[in-house]
Amino acid sequence: MKLDKYLRQKHGRQAWLAKELNVTAGFINQITNGSRPIPARFGIAIERATQGKVTRKDMFSNWVEIWPELADKKD
């Protein structure tokens, strides 16, 4: 699932994720609306915070370059 879709499913999720990642709500809004890319350093934290509903494979087209160990994992 795409991060923007996940965050839009329930009111308050952007603020919740900002708190989970220790970033501003404005930053989460920017990555949600696409005006800023999701930094790779947040990939694992977002995947964990969303309990795997949003995966690194969902967030990054170049995930195999960043996390090659995921290539062997089945979704």
- Nearest CA to 43 out of 22, 23, 66, 25 is that of 66
| pLDDT tens profile 36-66 | 999 999 999 999 999 999 999 999 999 999 9
- Asked if the structure places residue 75 within a domain, the reply is no
Range of the domain at 16: 3-69
- Give the tokens for residue 35: 């005006």
pTM for the full predicted model: 0.90
| pLDDT tens profile 32-42 | 999 999 999 99
Q: How many domains does the chain have?
A: 1
Please provide the DSSP assignment of the chain as one string.
--HHHHHHTSTTHHHHHHHHHTS-HHHHHHHHHTSSPPPGGGHHHHHHHTTTSS-HHHH-TTHHHH-GGGGGS--
Cα(75)–Cα(73) distance, rounded to whole angstroms? 6
- Asked if the structure places residue 74 within a domain, the reply is no
